[in-house]
Protein backbone atom coordinates (compact mmCIF):
# COMPACT_ATOMS: atom_id res chain seq x y z
CA UNK A 1 0.00 0.00 0.00
CA UNK A 2 1.42 3.38 -1.02
CA UNK A 3 0.76 6.61 0.87
CA UNK A 4 1.37 9.81 -1.08
CA UNK A 5 0.11 12.85 -2.96
CA UNK A 6 -0.43 11.18 -6.35
CA UNK A 7 -4.00 10.31 -7.39
CA UNK A 8 -3.13 6.63 -7.85
CA UNK A 9 -1.67 6.27 -4.31
CA UNK A 10 -3.62 3.80 -2.19
CA UNK A 11 -3.99 6.44 0.53
CA UNK A 12 -3.93 9.93 -0.97
CA UNK A 13 -2.84 12.90 1.16
CA UNK A 14 -3.15 15.73 -1.35
CA UNK A 15 -3.29 18.85 0.81
CA UNK A 16 0.34 18.90 2.01
CA UNK A 17 3.05 19.89 -0.49
CA UNK A 18 5.78 18.33 1.71
CA UNK A 19 4.37 14.88 0.96
CA UNK A 20 5.96 13.14 -2.02
CA UNK A 21 3.91 11.59 -4.81
CA UNK A 22 4.74 8.10 -3.50
CA UNK A 23 5.98 8.94 0.01
CA UNK A 24 5.65 5.84 2.20
CA UNK A 25 5.06 2.13 1.59
CA UNK A 26 3.21 -0.26 3.89
CA UNK A 27 3.84 -3.82 2.73
CA UNK A 28 2.61 -7.20 3.91
CA UNK A 29 5.34 -9.85 3.62
CA UNK A 30 4.73 -13.55 4.08
CA UNK A 31 8.01 -15.41 3.64
CA UNK A 32 6.64 -18.81 4.61
CA UNK A 33 3.15 -19.83 3.40
CA UNK A 34 2.61 -21.82 6.61
CA UNK A 35 3.28 -18.84 8.92
CA UNK A 36 1.58 -15.49 9.43
CA UNK A 37 3.18 -12.60 7.58
CA UNK A 38 4.23 -9.20 8.89
CA UNK A 39 3.61 -5.60 7.90
CA UNK A 40 6.62 -3.41 7.09
CA UNK A 41 6.51 0.39 6.93
CA UNK A 42 9.25 2.20 5.03
CA UNK A 43 10.02 5.56 3.47
CA UNK A 44 10.02 5.50 -0.33
CA UNK A 45 13.05 7.84 -0.82
CA UNK A 46 10.85 10.88 -0.18
CA UNK A 47 12.41 14.33 0.01
CA UNK A 48 11.39 14.99 3.62
CA UNK A 49 11.39 11.41 4.92
CA UNK A 50 8.97 9.47 7.06
CA UNK A 51 9.41 9.82 10.80
CA UNK A 52 8.92 6.43 12.48
CA UNK A 53 10.26 5.91 15.99
CA UNK A 54 12.91 8.56 15.12
CA UNK A 55 14.44 6.32 12.42
CA UNK A 56 13.58 6.70 8.73
CA UNK A 57 16.45 4.61 7.34
CA UNK A 58 15.17 1.05 7.79
CA UNK A 59 11.76 -0.58 7.34
CA UNK A 60 9.81 -0.97 10.56
CA UNK A 61 8.05 -4.24 11.30
CA UNK A 62 4.60 -3.52 12.72
CA UNK A 63 3.55 -6.44 14.91
CA UNK A 64 0.86 -7.29 17.45
CA UNK A 65 3.02 -6.41 20.46
CA UNK A 66 3.23 -2.74 19.43
CA UNK A 67 -0.48 -1.98 20.03
CA UNK A 68 -0.39 0.47 17.11
CA UNK A 69 2.29 2.68 15.63
CA UNK A 70 2.28 6.38 14.77
CA UNK A 71 4.34 7.91 11.99
CA UNK A 72 4.61 11.29 10.37
CA UNK A 73 4.27 11.91 6.64
CA UNK A 74 4.79 15.59 5.89
CA UNK A 75 2.69 17.45 8.45
CA UNK A 76 0.24 14.56 8.90
CA UNK A 77 0.40 12.13 11.81
CA UNK A 78 -0.93 8.66 10.91
CA UNK A 79 -1.67 5.80 13.29
CA UNK A 80 -1.84 2.12 12.32
CA UNK A 81 -3.38 -0.39 14.72
CA UNK A 82 -2.96 -4.10 14.24
CA UNK A 83 -6.05 -6.22 14.80
CA UNK A 84 -6.18 -9.96 14.24
Q: What is the DSSP letter of 53?
A: T
For strand 76-80 and strand 69-73, is the pairing parallel, antiparallel, or unpaired?
A: antiparallel
pTM, entire model: 0.75
Task: Count other C-beta atoms under 10 Å from residue 59's C-beta.
Answer: 16
Domains of the chain: 2-80 (2.60.200.20)
Per-residue pLDDT 10s for the chain (84 aa) are: 999 999 999 999 988 889 999 999 988 888 777 767 788 888 888 888 887 655 545 677 776 666 777 888 888 888 887 666
CA dist., res. 3 & res. 73, Å (int): 9
1-5 LR contacts (CB < 8 Å, sep 24+)? 1/25, 1/26, 1/27, 2/44, 3/73, 3/78, 4/44
Amino acid sequence: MVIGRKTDADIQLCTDSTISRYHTVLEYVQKNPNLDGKFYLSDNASKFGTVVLLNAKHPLCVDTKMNGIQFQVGGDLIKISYKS
